[in-house]
A and B are shown apart, each in its own frame.
Chain A
């Protein structure tokens, strides 16, 4: 059953959207989504790693021996994670400071290894790029959605992107009198929000 390029790309956006449909890669989902900005940054970093590791795994799939494939995948993924880390330090240092330890943790994100093992090792480069982009963008959107929910209720703000001089986004969405639920930006709030979003996704899925 040969799927088209578009199908491979779009499946990651809805049908197999990683955190909500497959409940995978929850460490960053719970850890960094205190603001939309963090969510988007983390999602983009993961997408970058995902696409490049998919490309490399797909192009080397005939050379990598099956016995040591996991070790090879980890080398490839770890390399791109360190590349991401260095580039982020060089160009988006404030974001790097906020995401901190979660950037190196992309190495053990099961979405990345999962796509390498389940998809890129069995498919050609073009399909793997589409798959990586789709899953990555889906992951970014999920993180941004969860971040938006938590930031909106937890801090009464929506920040899309901050530069040292200005902030793109809306401050005090509900007005100055709104008392934020600080619970939402703390760790337990992450679980509650994720649970609610899973619930909504399941309701929409079950017909």
Chain B
């Protein structure tokens, strides 16, 4: 009995991890095309280049992070970071565009999430909520008003709002840590 259960579980685990590895790159391309792409285009509205094509990766410790580049008024000055926070139904992915010249947030957009439809999921299409981040400094810890912060939570979706805030704060930390390297990289796109 124990043997059968163990063998079955082990086989299923092996099969799934194998398949996960095999499909990972394909899934990433699809996400870029259908979810992240439109979100990036939305927050970098008016950019004169194609931010999806102008992307690069940097090593942050063990992890590899991806960045997208935006060009405004002939200057390459905006970089989009990917970050995430813990939501109600799993990780909420957030794209944060930062102006490298004044360290201000150009815009944020929610990408992948598994929040409740009709409540948390509205974070994706609620322009009023995400636009609160516009023009705020990136090196700041964001909180919803309930927790003593400045961001008004979406009604019925406090946990998702918190997730977005923590993702934004998280992006600030990544930005701070990698800023010298980012500046180096941006020069290549001129």
Interface residue? A6 (CB, 8 A): no
Partner of B4, one of A63, A82, A87: A63
Q: State whether B34 touches A93 (Cβ < 8 A).
A: yes
Number of A-B contacts (CB under 8 A): 54
A83 to B31, CA, bound (A): 18
Name the distance in Å between A185's Cβ and chain B's nearest Cβ.
14
Chain B residue nearest to A63 (CB atoms) is B4
Instruction: Check B30 against A87 for contact (C-beta < 8 Å).
Output: no
Residue pair B23, A90 in contact (C-beta under 8 Å): yes
Instruction: With both chains docked as a complex, state the minimum distance between the C-beta of B10 and any C-beta of chain A, in angstroms.
Output: 10
User: Are B1 and A67 in contact, with the CB atoms below 8 A?
Assistant: yes
Chain B residue, CB-CB nearest to A87: B23
Minimal Cβ-Cβ distance residue in B for A82: B16
Do A89 and B27 form a contact, CB below 8 Å, given A79-B15, A79-B16, A82-B16? yes
Contact A101 B114 (CB under 8 A): yes
Total chain B interface residues with beta-carbon distance under 8 A: 20
User: Per DSSP, are chain A's interface residues mostly helix, strand or loop, or mixed?
Assistant: helix
In this assembly, does A175 line the interface, its C-beta being within 8 Å of a C-beta of chain B?
A: no
What's the least CB distance linking A1 to chain B, in Å? 31
Is B16's CB under 8 angstroms from A90's CB? no
Q: A93: which of B4, B5, B31 is its contact (CB, 8 Å)?
A: B31
The tally of residues in A whose CB lies under 8 Å from a CB in B reads 23
Docked Cα-Cα span, A63 to B12, in Å, equals 16
Contact of A75 among B12, B23, B33, B34 (CB under 8 A): B12
A86 on the interface (CB 8 Å rule)? yes
In the bound complex, CA of A63 to CA of B8 (Å): 11
Q: How far is the CB of B117 from chain A (nearest CB, A)?
A: 8
* Interchain CB contact under 8 A, B12 and A65: no
Q: Closest Cβ of chain B: how far from A49's Cβ, in Å?
A: 13
- Return chain A residues, CB-CB under 8 Å to B117: 100-101
Q: Is B145 in contact with chain A by the CB < 8 A criterion?
A: no
Task: Give the distance in Å from the alpha carbon of A192 to the alpha carbon of B102 in the complex.
Answer: 57
Q: Is the CB of A71 within 8 A of B5?
A: yes
| Beta-carbon contact of A72 and B8 below 8 Å | yes
A-B contact pairs, 11 of them (CB 8 A): A76-B8, A79-B15, A83-B15, A86-B16, A86-B20, A86-B27, A93-B27, A93-B31, A93-B33, A97-B35, A101-B117
Please list the residues of chain B having a beta carbon within 8 angstroms of any beta carbon in chain A: 1, 4-5, 8-9, 12, 15-16, 19-20, 23, 26-27, 30-31, 33-35, 114, 117
